[in-house]
Amino acid sequence: MKLSNVVKSALPAAFVGVMALSLTPISAFASTSITTTFAVTATVQSTCLVSASSMSFGTYTGAAAPSTSTVTVTCTNTTPYTVGLNAGTATGATVTTRQMTGPSSALLNYALYSDSARTVNWGNTTGSWVSGTGSGSGQGLTVYGQAAAGQYVTPGSYTDTITATVTY
């Protein structure tokens, strides 16, 4: 058989095969897929936020004057913390005898407590601070204050600033 005859007889067969493939639907061909995975990670650090409301003793008349404030602590879940309250800004004040400063540097004594009976001093050292464990939500801690009775100081406005420190 001559080469030209082989080519002549093979060409129509090849053409028919290519045409048959081109008419075959795509779905008839098998598809292949592969997959992989990847890790997703995070590290959550212990953290806390703190805020506080003001404490007002109102008009002091010489009688014992109670008041309250709220320190709100928000810590990550299961984070242990302590809250300490400093002595304030008056010269000579301590965490057991806090003082508001008024006109002509006059002082009005008051105290801050962690219990409603006003017997447990709230300070900033071991044994006088308040402890808790974070829940991920704000936890309100009531500060119980009392201006001492029997103080007849210069009339006017008295102020102090307390710093609440959260250690975690």
What pLDDT digit, counting tens, does each position of 137-157 carry?
999 999 999 999 999 999 999
- Binning pLDDT at 50, 70 and 90, where does residue 9 land? low
- Binning pLDDT at 50, 70 and 90, where does residue 38 land? very high
Phi, psi of 26 (to 5 degrees): -60, -35
Q: What is the 3-state secondary structure (H, E, C) of the chain?
A: CCHHHHHHHHHHHHHHHHHHHHCCCHHHCCCCCCCCCCCCCCCCCCCEEEEECCCCCCCCCCCCEEEEEEEEEEECCCCEEEEEECCCCCCCCCCCCEEEECHHHCEEEEEEECCCCCCCECCCCCCCCEEEECCCCEEEEEEEEEECCCCCCCCCCCECCCCEEEEC
Please state the pTM of the whole predicted model: 0.78
Torsion angle of C-alpha atoms 74, 79, 84, 85, degrees rounded to 10: 0
What is the pLDDT averaged over residues 61-74?
98
The chain-wide mean pLDDT, for the chain, equals: 90
142 burial via Cβ count (<10 Å: 0-12, 13-18, 19+): middle
- Binning pLDDT at 50, 70 and 90, where does residue 28 land? low
What is the pLDDT averaged over residues 70-78?
98
Quick one: what percent of the chain has pLDDT higher than 70? 83
Whether the predicted pLDDT of 10 surpasses 80: no
Whether the predicted pLDDT of 168 surpasses 90: yes
Two tokens, residue 44 = 């959550």
